[in-house]
Amino acid sequence: MKTQIGLNEKLALSIAEACAMSGVQKDSLYREINEGRLKTAKIKGRRLIRRESLEQWLADHEMTTNEAMGFETPEGS
Cα distance between residue 44 and residue 58, in whole Å: 26
Domain covering 11-69, topology: Multidrug-efflux Transporter Regulator; Chain: A; Domain 2 (1.10.1660)
pLDDT tens string, the chain, 77 residues long: the values are 678 877 778 899 999 999 999 999 999 999 999 999 999 999 999 999 999 999 999 988 776 666 767 776 666 55
**What pLDDT is attached to residue 62?**
76
3-state helix, strand, coil in the chain (%, to 5): 50, 15, 35
**What pLDDT is attached to residue 5?**
79
Task: Name the strand (E) or helix (H) holding 69.
Answer: helix 51-69
Q: Beta 12-14 vs 46-50: how paired, if at all?
A: antiparallel
The structural domains of the chain, with segments of one domain joined by +, span 11-69
**What pLDDT is attached to residue 33?**
95
**What pLDDT is attached to residue 9?**
81
Cα distance between residue 7 and residue 28, in whole Å: 20
